[in-house]
């Protein structure tokens, strides 16, 4: 009875067998989704099917694209009007 309460309110996460979702690259994302009562595999599959366009790759656009890529968003399209030169390769 108490165990069901803990599991249903996401205070306790039951370990799975060999296909344990917590032993992969997106384990922290999965824990985050579970804390909000979501199904990690479903969310990750949805992200993989998404396409995001980012206009401007300097400043915030650079950071946003890195975060989305590490979250496993399916396709990123980056557009920027800047010219690639030696002086701006760090951006």
CA distance 73 to 9: 28
91 with 72, same domain? yes
- pLDDT tens sequence across 33-90: 888 888 888 888 899 999 999 998 888 988 999 999 988 899 999 998 888 788 877 7
Q: What is this structure's pTM?
A: 0.61
Tell me if 86 is assigned to some domain. yes
Is 45 among the domain residues?
no
Q: CA-to-CA distance for 70 and 37, rounded, in angstroms?
A: 22
If one counts the domains in the chain, the total is: 2
Range of the domain at 56: 50-91
Residue 19 lies in a domain: yes
Q: Classify residue 17: in a domain, yes or no.
A: yes
Q: Is there a domain that residue 18 lies in?
A: yes
36/54 same-domain check: no
The answer on 91 and 55 residing in a single domain is yes
């Amino acid at each position: 009875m108490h165990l069901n309460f803990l599991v249903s309110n996401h205070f306790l996460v039951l370990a799975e067998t060999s296909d344990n979702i917590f032993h992969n690259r997106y384990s922290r994302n999965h824990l985050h989704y579970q804390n909000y009562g979501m199904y990690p595999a479903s969310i990750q599959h949805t992200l993989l099917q998404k396409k995001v366009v980012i206009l401007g790759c300097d400043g915030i656009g650079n950071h946003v694209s890195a975060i989305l890529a590490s979250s496993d968003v399916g396709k990123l399209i980056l557009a920027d009007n800047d010219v690639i030169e030696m002086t701006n390769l760090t951006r």
